[in-house]
């Protein structure tokens, strides 16, 4: 029993590591089956629509044109070099790739929102 449970954990970990490792680079580093319009909706939910919301807030988005949809959850607020930053968890569904998730950290710079690495 322990052996099969540990094999399952190792397999799950192996599948999640690439997603978490690439998360710091944002959507462009992942082939998640979302269109640019889908990604714009998800990013808007994480950026503008999340302003002033408390940790734990979940915002839904949907693109009827592609069938993609998802949620963005505000996980953490923090500061980096005097910039306001947030960590958000994206859960999404695309018609071509199915379900996925992406943890991202973004900070508001003078030039707009940027991924925090």
Count of alpha carbons within 13 angstroms of residue 75, beta-carbon side: 12
Of all residues in the chain, the percent with pLDDT exceeding 70 is 74
10 pLDDT more than 90: no
Characterize 41-53 residue by residue with b for buried, 16 or more Cβ atoms within 10 angstroms of its Cβ, and e for exposed.
bbbebbbebbeee
Structural domains of the chain, count: 1
Is this structure's pTM higher than 0.75? no
57 alpha-carbon distance from chain centroid: 14
Contact 110, 31 (CB under 8 A): no
Residue 64 structural domain: 2-115
Q: Could you give the CA distance from residue 115 to residue 80 in angstroms, rounded to a whole number?
A: 12
Query: How does the average pLDDT of the chain come out, rounded?
Result: 79
């Amino acid at each position: 029993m322990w052996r099969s449970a540990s094999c399952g954990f190792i397999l799950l970990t192996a599948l999640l590591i690439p997603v978490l490792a690439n998360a710091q680079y944002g959507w462009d580093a992942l082939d998640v089956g979302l269109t640019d319009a889908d990604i714009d909706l998800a990013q808007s939910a994480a950026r503008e629509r999340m302003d002033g919301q408390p940790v734990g807030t979940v915002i839904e988005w949907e693109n009827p044109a592609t069938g993609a949809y998802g949620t963005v959850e505000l996980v953490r607020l923090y500061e980096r070099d005097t910039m306001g930053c947030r960590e958000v968890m994206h859960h999404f569904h695309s018609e071509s790739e199915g379900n996925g998730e992406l943890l991202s950290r973004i900070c508001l710079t003078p030039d707009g929102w940027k991924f925090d690495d």
